Structure 1
Amino acid sequence: MTGARPGRPGAPGGCRFPPRRRITKAGEIRRTLRRGKRERTSHLDVFDAASPVSHSRLGVIVPTHGRRIVERNRLKRRLREIGRVEVLPRLDEAGASRDVLVRARGEAYGAAFDELRSELIDWTQRRCSPESSSD
């Protein structure tokens, strides 16, 4: 195969979720879960805390909830894409340096992409509003 795949270096459109924008280490995840502010939506639990680095980062937690791995992977891809395209750019525009963890609830498996997207955009707008506290 000779064509570049999306998400790979050299991919058309620069569709990437760079490692520096990800929360992957267990200690960072625990810190955000413990110290972060939690907000529940219909399908998600969203935690956020001040980022120890100079930019916002995103992590996704998708428990199996008794579902097949194919469904779990699809949900993880959807949440990462929404975070990459919608959440992180909005936090950057607002000048917020936050670590954001999105944990899927069981109901998220049955949600449409647009429902998940709408919930995360609404959360981001509330979090970036001037009256929102920083921690």
Structure 2
Amino acid sequence: MTRGADLERVRHEGKRVRTASMDVRALSSLLGVPRVGFVIPKYKHSGVDRNRLKRRLRELIRVDVLSELPPMDLVFKVLPVAYTRNFDTLRAEVLQAVRKIAR
């Protein structure tokens, strides 16, 4: 399967968890390793804002989540309000979503 097909499979078949500023989908991985993807629509924000949000989410996943994830595919789709969240609020939401999925 291609990378795009994997993303679509997770988005349509995965377990869904919502937080205030993101929609998270999870599905067990066929590869035996955790993988994380992001869907970050523009929502009338600049490319700078979009890339900043992407970098923040990647760093949160790398530092706080990735080492403890079981083999699964995660897809984070942000909502417009995510652009206004600070780093600590995003961290709390990411950890909350991952804890719910792990149950």
Same fold, judged at TM 0.5 (above): yes
What is the match of residue 12 of structure 2? Answer: 34
SS at match of 2:82: helix
Percent identical pairs in the alignment equals: 36
Give the superposition deviation at 1:70: 0.4
What is the match of residue 104 of structure 1? Answer: 78
What is the match of residue 64 of structure 2? Answer: 86
1:117 aligns with 2:91: yes
* TM-score between both structures, scaled by the size of structure 2: 0.92
Matching residue within 3, 21, 43 for 2:21 = 43
Q: Distance in 1 between matches of 2:93 and 2:68?
A: 14
Give the superposition deviation at 1:90: 2.1
How far does the alpha carbon of each residue in 1:92-128 deviate from its partner, in whole angstroms, 9 at most, with x for none?
xxxx211001111000000001101111112222323
Q: Report the aligned-residue RMSD.
A: 1.3
Give the superposition deviation at 1:83: 1.2
What is the match of residue 71 of structure 1? Answer: 49
Aligned length: 102
Of structures 1 and 2, the larger Rg is shown by 1
Higher helix proportion (structure 1 or 2): 2
Q: After the TM superposition, which parts of structure 1 deviate over 4 Å for at least 4 consecutive aligned residues?
A: none
* TM-score between both structures, scaled by the size of structure 1: 0.71
